Structure 1
Amino acid sequence: MKKVFLSVLAVAALSLQSRAQETFPRNGVYDERSGLRAFTNATIFVDYQTKLENATLVIKDGKVVAVGTKVAVPQGAMVTDLKGKTVYPGFVDPYTHYGVPPVAPRTFSFNSPPQADTKKEGAYNWNQAIRPETNAVEIFKVDAKAAEELRKLGFGAVLTLHPDGIARGTASLVSLANKRENQVILLDKAAAALSLDKGSSTQEYPSSLMGSMALLRQTYLDAQWNSKNPDKEQNLSLKAFSETNRLPQIFEVTNKLNAVRADKVGDEFGHQYIFKGQGDEYQMLPQIKETKAAYILNVNFPDAFSVEDPYDARRIGIEDMKHWEMAPANPALLVKEGVAIAFTTADLRDKSKFLPNLRKATLYGLSEKEALKALTHTPAQLLKADKYVGSLREGMQANFVVASGNLFDATTLLLENWVQGQGFKISETPSDFRGVYTLKIDSQPDRRLLISGTPEKPEVKVVTADTLKGSLSLSGEMLTLAFAPAKNGKESIRLSGWYTGKGFQGEGQLPNAQTVKWSAALLEAASQQAKRDTARARSNEALDLGKMTYPFASYGRTELPKAETVLIRNATVWTNEKDGKLQNADVLLKNGKIAQVGKNLSATGAKVIDGTGKHVTPGIIDEHSHIALDGVNEGTQAVTSEVRMADVVNHEQVNIYRQLAGGVTTSQLLHGSANPIGGQSAIIKLRWGQAPEKLMLEGADPFIKFALGENVKHSNRSPQYNVRFPQTRMGVEQVMVDAFQRAKEYDKAWAAYNKLSKSAKSKTAAPRRDLELEALSEILKDQRFITCHSYVQSEINMLMKVADQMGFRVNTFTHILEGYKVADKMKERNIGASTFSDWWAYKMEVKDAIPYNAAIMHNVGVVTAINSDDAEMARRLNQEAAKTIKYGGVSEEDALKMVTLNPAKLLHLDNRIGSLKAGKDADVVIWNDHPLSIYARPEKTFVDGIAYFDLEQDKQLQEEQEKERLRLINKMLAAKARGERTQTAAPSRRGGQQVLHCEDLDNGAEENFQESEYHQK
């Protein structure tokens, strides 16, 4: 039967239809055939949920004609009997680069100046990363080798796109048949492709993640404006972008955080993206589900780490260990939450691992039905191509896979892949000789012969008094076998023979060269053995997976702490209010607020904490921080007020937890100091374990970062960077004046437009929305507030003069190490100061810094705060504040206010935080000693009445984490012992654990060469 089946397949190749080539003349006769085929007696999955037994599939001209259990075989059809075989719809890969040219690598030279403008000629977009005019169909070319590789995995159709840039143009759905390009293209424009990676663009902007998001937002706005005002500008890129917005939108992201971030941009402009993810979505399931997006998942599950060396093992982050364990469960966990998924071969260096890893996902809880759905129906539906591919119904493409059995069994082979009615042989069904045999060799005592493993890779053991491993080779129905007759034997018995139908027989040679006859009679049916092997392989469904932690990082908890009613009794309470410091006082926290402060308080059901000998203060507030960010500078242009730090908040950065351990409860996350006008700030509460959006301090006023001095004029950068304006301090002033002049004109244009009547507006073009100028407009309207990086007296005076001239106000000068020289002028303008306690002499513009700076500004009446600008210093801001007592004689209470109430005032949040007063947020720290002492240590840090840090719980958390590490290490050792692949131990490369400073650049390693301000110190 097998030989008949294969010969029919050979004939099938001659009967393929060629009618689709009607537009191409041919040099020779036109031998056109319909390719009428009938496949009978098969188990057929018409779609992922419709299974037919003993069914027939009829195809003609590359299309499905009929499928069912009562389908008559048409006259003249070539019939193939698929008894015992299973037919599945051809798989659809919704994310490939099949048949398109590779993306050119982005080049960089340290000797070349930065590129500000596009190098693309023609009426295209100003930024090379925006390339929606790219159409995959125009650059696609059939690739026989790549097509064969994908067909072997069961794929019949793939979406192909050119993965270059942020707006990548259109993708095409193509079949994997060996035909001309015009015959395999099923949908020329099936989807639009997007990302946050600027790709091959050599332009400097954007150099950061937040810059990419800002550019994408502005592109949406520009495309809308351009479509309404075609007479204003002919822009082929924006026109193409508007057209692609009607297609399914596939957005490639590098991690689950970027999916959540990008989804917000999509929501802002009314687009529901389909995300091509990276397999870590399970780590933020609630937020991923909230996106309401479908996810294209790779099955690029990580290998275990080599952890034999305990020192190497310590280098591996626990989040990487847990990801190794949990990644295969990602598809099942998403489906359980109702998230639609599709599978792709993308990111797999070794494509042959696709099916084994897919089957692994089913062992981790993904049902076979959902797995098949993700291979067929869902990708077709997402691409609006479900009338062409994804199932086997009348009129659809004749794309189907013939398998030897259940697709998700490890022993099943893919035998054939039919694409557009064209058959491709993948493999043959191997003879299954597994079983237990009685081995007779001449007159020797009987032995037992056990053939196990898989039909493709059989393993052999010979059993007498001992169990002896042997070597086995099968070729068709021929067998060769060798084994040593005793353990540790150096000489072997060698046998050669053939299959008889119920066993083997043949001749062989003993170690003494004697020729013998031998036979092996089957004792147990191989089919039964195979079933048991498969059942045993599938029995491992209840896997011992560790628990999720929040966040998915070091010091993550399996459950988030909750708010309680807490009564702290008999402590020294630093109120920062008119009552000052209270001895032997109580503080009641209830419903996330401070309910009462006083003596002899009581509360029913409250958790009582004995504060005897302890000190209670408001939570520390860091006015200038760069923690919890995936990037700090978009330093490519002089003005980047369009970028938003809120776009790149990373809730998994461990410095959040470490700073809670230092009593910090609120931080302003500032843009860096690479340009005169930087990006918009984010103010967060350190709610460790919560998602980024829940870190944001609700209702906080918006701020923005400005900068003066050496950094913005590139004093510390290489000579080739001396091209971006400004290059002098005088130029910085002109940038500020020009920016606000443009913002004023922008406001005037909108004001004039908004005054028009409805009928007049319909005839008048609206001004173009400009996100950069909108942020500056907010400053002019006192709706956004400036924190300005500053050092030198002359520049501080300059900005105050520009503010007076242009009609805006500087809210805060940060750093301001020469603030003592201009404190009177700041007081006149109600400008606050946020400074360092005693940093100086780390660069030229701080040579006049003195440790009395904060005290002098405070004594003049300037609201003065001490900030960190550094992840390490933030853990001891209480000590930095205490230095003002030594340098300047500031009182203890006023010193504490410099890291609590005063930064709250600078952030316009003193009505909510910064002091202990009934009605304010319950951001409270319990210290074991005087809070300004170098020996003081927070025992508990409450944010909104929730103990996000607890010294005793921290000890328990560390112990639990060590136990979890040990469990995972043992599991990895066991995996390696089973023969699984491993990878070298290495520290986590996750961006969330990087420590950023004011001057750090975010545009890749090739430009991240500038020494940071922190290290210069």
Structure 2
Amino acid sequence: MKKILLLLYFSVLLPKTYAQEYFPNNESVQNRNTNFTAFTNAKIYVTPTQIIEKGTLLIQNGKVIGAGNNIAIPKNCMIINLDGKSIYPSFIDMYTSFGIEKPKGITSTERNPLYDTKRSGYYWNESIRSEVNGYESFKYDQTKAEELLKAGFGVVGTHVQDGIARGSGTLIALNNFDKSTQLLSDKVTNHFAFTKSATTNQAYPSSLMGMMALLRQMYLDLDWYKKGNATTKDLSLEALSNNEKLVQIFASEDKLNSLRAAKIAKEFGLNYVLKGNGNEFERIEEIKKTNSKFIIPINFPEAYDVSDPNQANQMELKDLRFWNQAPTNLKVLTDNGIVFALTTDKLKKLEDFRPNLLRAIKYGFDKTKALEALTTIPAAILGKSNEIGSLKTGSLANFVITSGEIFEEKTIFYENWVQGNKFVITDITIKDIRGDYDLSVANQQYKWKISGDITAPKSIITTIDSKKVSSKLTVSNNWISTVMKSMDSTKTTFSRLIGYIDDIQLLSGKAILFNGNEVKWSAVRTAPFIKPIDSLKLEKNNMIIPTTFPNVAYGNLKKPTTQTLLFKNATVWTNEKDGILEETDVLVKNGKIASIGKNISDASATIVDAKGKHLTSGIIDEHSHIAISNGVNEGGHNSSAEVTIQDVVNSEDINIYRDLAGGVTTSQLLHGSANPIGGRSAIVKWKWGASADEMLYKDQPGFIKFALGENVKQANWGITNPTRFPQTRMGVEQVFTDYFQRAKEYDVAWKNYNATGKKGKGKAPRVDLELQTLAEILNKERFISCHSYVQSEILMLMNVAEKFDFRVNTFTHILEGYKVADKMKEHGVGASTFSDWWAYKFEVNDAIPFNGPIMHNAGVVVAYNSDDAEMSRRLNQEAAKAVKYGNVSEEDAWKFVTLNPAKLLHIDDKVGSIKVGKDADIVLWNTNPLSIYAKAEKTLIEGVVYYDLQKDEEQRVAIAKERNELIGQLLQEKNKGMITQEPKKAEKKEYHCDTLEQ
């Protein structure tokens, strides 16, 4: 009986709902609306800067007909009054994988490396997948579309996120009602990334430098292919050619990788849109210089739970700092005039997008710029400004209806219209019943407080004597239903209140009491709803830690600059014929050593009292692997001469600062020893805080790493079924012979073409970066530094070199060099060795600590190197071992780590000694630099102080203070109930010759 009465009651009141001016939202009854629809009295954002107050938006057939204050409304037009509400263009996310299944990785049975492609008719490397088209594997995902629609998005770009060259992306309208119009453009973007394809076990490339080399070779091959030089069709290169006019998007995913991608773009005259990481603010000067447009995620890191001090202490300062600084990234980009769009990519859940965006706004990101980054900018980048991103006449009718300003926390998203089809987010007809009421039910009086959200109100009912009555409130389609729960000593009873919301000042309806009786109820509003003050909004923003150069521990607030310094009364180790000079002055000016002598004066110089201290040239490490990003080995082929460490210098590695603290000013960063012919090296000066390009030694001579022994034949790789040639030491010799013969023929082909072919007498040879590099060796334009141990192989490589009429420049490690020192002297090769490493693997069993001195005494140029991040900080002590083990003089021993490596690197005209006119790369020591008690007090590079012992002590105090500040902020976040994550210790991989990327 009660149910019947309730249904009758609803049937009487239900017709009132038909007064609303809205179409049904059921797909089964939705027909395409070809009539005009006018949205009146709204605040209309035609664009982020063109705003119409109390305007009318007129749409028809999924497009905007007009927007303004004097829009003529046609007859038979559906009119929707949006008084007090706002209309914004729907958002655009141009970087997603919406509707595209993640490519499946290879199975465990296919893990053994593949060295040749299995594909026929495509490019030789399976990570070049430019022939892939996103639209071909696209399947509309209605569930995901609804998530995006609720967040305000109307259009997304999507593509297959797999491989280095990933193929074309498509543009999709999130139209859940009309599948025929969802595809806006089948091919709109062309995608690239520094990521191998998950679908191949092809060994190459295995490193970041390999990926960059592959991209260069791909573009060179494309140019050669387009000119008609190829004899067979390549579907991958065909696709690259066909997609050249599309928007080129590169997923760099990191600030330094953005700079690397921009470098490739500049080399080939390309214009990449760079999909960044959110850390661009840390290198904003270099980012700005790229002149690139960006796509920026806003996946800010969650606060760390640092309540456990032991866990907190494991965290690196840079990670704590990034949590603090990340919300400022969008403001910094805007302040520097960088054009960018926003993306939901990399968010754990889509619901985080809006809170993160509001957080960025709280930290200074301009609201108008935020709207541009979601509408007009992505539309312009995509070349679709006439269709999407605005509400100009002719644009698609893609818009969001909100309760107010779109970037206010309290604002409600009501509806998202895409191509003129409505998606309901929140019922726009719902009335705000929140507030305080006097409730009367069957002559019983109560106080009723309704709070919470408009769409999910909360109910608190109390009796006149302030006893709480348990209640539950639901609102749907403006019907209100409340259950009141009462308890006495014997039982629990329920009363149900039902009513239709006509007037929020007076709520009324029928109540079904616990005994079945029906009575009237009413609630008179006594006070409006006052939203509780958001404690988070009241709180000030966290104090933002200033960005440093680099933005890690021991970074500088300002980049250091060249100084004029006068070192007075030092013991100067000149490394020249003058030897060691006592009580001598050295003037540093304009980055050079300007004067050496007694009683020097310069009014512009800062005086450094060096009495009792020692001044030397900076240490030079001929063989280092620090400061390299994502792989020291490109071991996917037995030759990787095309790759270069110069592409992957990591200018933010803390080991740079540690090297400076040990007096190291210059290092050669070498490829590892995974293959006989490795990659090209980078000679760098450790200018802490500068960019990677600024660290590269200017006009540096070309070097390349070769290797012999166990590593190159994969003896220690642990591969189940090694198949890559060579597998023996005799195979290593054959690799060298074969590649140099090929390089010789390649060089001849190009010389012949340059002599005759350019005049139209022949097709151009294919540019091969690998063979081109090897040809430079044959032409004595590039020099070999070879990883070596065993005397037989040392002799073998010298024989191969002499056969092809060049000389090996340096044997590095060379722990059996003492056995063949006479042959080395005869060949003209230098040695860069360890002071006293031995027996750490089989081929080192014959190593002795007298190796370096024996080679030195035989007339070989000898250097000591580190090959190790820890050892490079104490190469001064390694040099001292030459005195201990071989009775080498102190001056000559010091040259083992200064002038001699400079000679091996062909840079001794600029560095390696203290001589007027040379670069002011010098170190001030507190005592004899060969002493175990020696400390570097100042380390200069080109007259700039990059390390200062006194400043270092001050920085340690400042770092401890900063950590405490950040930990305090994080503890506050946890106390406020914010989501936190467990602290993670950053596992830093230290590279050695044999380190392989997984």
Establish whether TM, by shorter chain, passes 0.5: yes
Shift in CA distance, 795/187, structure 1 to aligned 2, threshold 3 Å: same
CA distance in structure 2 between the aligned counterparts of 1:277 and 1:814, rounded to whole angstroms: 39
Shift in CA distance, 517/975, structure 1 to aligned 2, threshold 3 Å: farther
Matches within 5 A, 1:760-771: 760-761=759-760, 764-771=762-769
Deviation, structure 1 residue 900: 0.6
Deviation, structure 1 residue 543: 5.3
Matches within 5 A, 1:300-699: 300-429=299-428, 431-435=431-435, 454-456=453-455, 473-476=472-475, 478=480, 501-502=504-505, 522=525, 524-526=527-529, 529-530=530-531, 544-630=543-629, 631-699=631-699
Conservation of the 8 A alpha-carbon contact between 2:757 and 2:763 = no
Q: Which amino acid in structure 2 is aligned with residue 685 of structure 1?
A: K
Shift in CA distance, 757/250, structure 1 to aligned 2, threshold 3 Å: closer
Q: Which of the numbers 165, 168, 185 marks the counterpart of 1:167?
A: 165
CA distance in structure 1 between the aligned counterparts of 2:837 and 2:690, rounded to whole angstroms: 34
CA distance in structure 1 between the aligned counterparts of 2:486 and 2:878, rounded to whole angstroms: 77
Number of the residue aligned with 1:937: 935
Conservation of the 8 A alpha-carbon contact between 1:306 and 1:984 = yes
Q: Which amino acid in structure 1 is aligned with residue 991 of structure 2?
A: L
Farther off after superposition, 253-262 or 873-882: 253-262
Q: Which of the numbers 952, 955, 969 marks the counterpart of 1:954?
A: 952
Q: Which of the numbers 964, 978, 990 marks the counterpart of 1:980?
A: 978
Conservation of the 8 A alpha-carbon contact between 1:259 and 1:277 = yes
Deviation, structure 1 residue 792: 0.8
Gaps of at least 5 residues in structure 2 are 1-14, 513-517
CA distance in structure 2 between the aligned counterparts of 1:2 and 1:274, rounded to whole angstroms: 53
Conservation of the 8 A alpha-carbon contact between 1:363 and 1:541 = no
Number of the residue aligned with 2:6: none
Question: Per-residue CA shift, 1:926-978, capped at 9, x if unaligned?
Answer: 11121111111111111121221111111111111111111111111111122
Matches within 5 A, 1:995-1006: 995-1002=990-997, 1004=998
Number of the residue aligned with 2:134: 136
Deviation, structure 1 residue 113: 3.3
Matches within 5 A, 1:233-272: 233-272=232-271
Deviation, structure 1 residue 465: 15
Number of the residue aligned with 2:784: 786
CA distance in structure 1 between the aligned counterparts of 2:26 and 2:458, rounded to whole angstroms: 35
Task: Say if 2:137 is the partner of 1:123.
Answer: no
Q: Which amino acid in structure 2 is aligned with residue 979 of structure 1?
A: G
Shift in CA distance, 651/465, structure 1 to aligned 2, threshold 3 Å: farther
Note the aligned Cα RMSD (angstroms).
3.2
Number of the residue aligned with 2:23: 9
Number of the residue aligned with 2:708: 708
CA distance in structure 1 between the aligned counterparts of 2:260 and 2:606, rounded to whole angstroms: 38
CA distance in structure 2 between the aligned counterparts of 1:541 and 1:974, rounded to whole angstroms: 12
The TM-score normalised by the length of structure 2 is 0.91
Deviation, structure 1 residue 102: 1.7
**Secondary structure at 2:809's aligned position in 1?**
strand
Q: Which amino acid in structure 2 is aligned with residue 105 of structure 1?
A: G
**Secondary structure at 2:46's aligned position in 1?**
strand
**Secondary structure at 1:10's aligned position in 2?**
coil
Conservation of the 8 A alpha-carbon contact between 2:229 and 2:763 = no
Number of the residue aligned with 2:887: 889
CA distance in structure 2 between the aligned counterparts of 1:668 and 1:67, rounded to whole angstroms: 64
Deviation, structure 1 residue 98: 1.3
**Secondary structure at 2:886's aligned position in 1?**
coil
Farther off after superposition, 236-245 or 712-721: 712-721
Shift in CA distance, 857/461, structure 1 to aligned 2, threshold 3 Å: farther
Farther off after superposition, 134-143 or 264-273: 134-143
CA distance in structure 2 between the aligned counterparts of 1:14 and 1:49, rounded to whole angstroms: 39
Question: Per-residue CA shift, 1:350-394, capped at 9, x if unaligned?
Answer: 111111212222111111111111111111111111111111122
CA distance in structure 2 between the aligned counterparts of 1:837 and 1:497, rounded to whole angstroms: 90
**Secondary structure at 2:720's aligned position in 1?**
helix
Deviation, structure 1 residue 183: 2.6
Question: Per-residue CA shift, 1:849-884, capped at 9, x if unaligned?
Answer: 111110011111111000000000111111111011
CA distance in structure 1 between the aligned counterparts of 2:52 and 2:27, rounded to whole angstroms: 27
Task: Say if 2:55 is the partner of 1:52.
Answer: no
Matches within 5 A, 1:821-832: 821-832=819-830
CA distance in structure 2 between the aligned counterparts of 1:191 and 1:533, rounded to whole angstroms: 45
Conservation of the 8 A alpha-carbon contact between 2:480 and 2:498 = yes
Deviation, structure 1 residue 118: 1.5
**Secondary structure at 1:372's aligned position in 2?**
helix
Aligned residues: 968
CA distance in structure 2 between the aligned counterparts of 1:459 and 1:891, rounded to whole angstroms: 87
CA distance in structure 2 between the aligned counterparts of 1:11 and 1:847, rounded to whole angstroms: 80
Deviation, structure 1 residue 459: 7.0
Q: Which amino acid in structure 2 is aligned with residue 502 of structure 1?
A: Q
CA distance in structure 2 between the aligned counterparts of 1:214 and 1:466, rounded to whole angstroms: 80
Deviation, structure 1 residue 764: 2.7
Deviation, structure 1 residue 237: 0.7
Conservation of the 8 A alpha-carbon contact between 2:457 and 2:474 = no
Deviation, structure 1 residue 716: 1.3
CA distance in structure 1 between the aligned counterparts of 2:688 and 2:108, rounded to whole angstroms: 39
Gaps of at least 5 residues in structure 1 are 19-32, 486-490, 510-514, 1005-1017
CA distance in structure 1 between the aligned counterparts of 2:958 and 2:468, rounded to whole angstroms: 44
Number of the residue aligned with 2:723: 723
Q: Which amino acid in structure 1 is aligned with residue 504 of structure 2?
A: G
The TM-score normalised by the length of structure 1 is 0.90
Number of the residue aligned with 2:10: none
Number of the residue aligned with 1:24: none
**Secondary structure at 1:887's aligned position in 2?**
helix
Number of the residue aligned with 2:754: 754
Conservation of the 8 A alpha-carbon contact between 1:17 and 1:62 = no
**Secondary structure at 1:972's aligned position in 2?**
helix
CA distance in structure 1 between the aligned counterparts of 2:708 and 2:16, rounded to whole angstroms: 80
CA distance in structure 2 between the aligned counterparts of 1:470 and 1:826, rounded to whole angstroms: 97
Matches within 5 A, 1:808-823: 808-823=806-821
Question: Per-residue CA shift, 1:739-797, capped at 9, x if unaligned?
Answer: 11111111111111111275x32x63111000001111111122111101011111111
Question: Per-residue CA shift, 1:576-629, capped at 9, x if unaligned?
Answer: 111111111122211211112222222213222221221111111100000000
Matches within 5 A, 1:215-294: 215-229=214-228, 232-294=231-293
Farther off after superposition, 2-11 or 274-283: 2-11
Number of the residue aligned with 1:147: 145
Deviation, structure 1 residue 696: 0.9
Deviation, structure 1 residue 803: 0.6
Shift in CA distance, 463/898, structure 1 to aligned 2, threshold 3 Å: farther
Question: Per-residue CA shift, 1:303-326, capped at 9, x if unaligned?
Answer: 000000111101111111111122
Number of the residue aligned with 1:202: 201
Conservation of the 8 A alpha-carbon contact between 1:141 and 1:181 = no
Question: Per-residue CA shift, 1:322-366, capped at 9, x if unaligned?
Answer: 111221221111111111111111111211111121222211111
CA distance in structure 2 between the aligned counterparts of 1:178 and 1:268, rounded to whole angstroms: 43
**Secondary structure at 2:146's aligned position in 1?**
helix
Question: Per-residue CA shift, 1:181-231, capped at 9, x if unaligned?
Answer: 553111111010110101222211011111111111100011111111265
Matches within 5 A, 1:889-928: 889-928=887-926
Deviation, structure 1 residue 58: 1.7
CA distance in structure 2 between the aligned counterparts of 1:287 and 1:464, rounded to whole angstroms: 67
CA distance in structure 2 between the aligned counterparts of 1:342 and 1:930, rounded to whole angstroms: 57
Conservation of the 8 A alpha-carbon contact between 1:17 and 1:35 = no
Conservation of the 8 A alpha-carbon contact between 1:495 and 1:506 = no
Conservation of the 8 A alpha-carbon contact between 1:437 and 1:523 = yes
Conservation of the 8 A alpha-carbon contact between 2:438 and 2:445 = no
CA distance in structure 1 between the aligned counterparts of 2:519 and 2:879, rounded to whole angstroms: 94
CA distance in structure 1 between the aligned counterparts of 2:702 and 2:900, rounded to whole angstroms: 18
Q: Which amino acid in structure 2 is aligned with residue 176 of structure 1?
A: L
Percentage of pairs with the same residue: 49
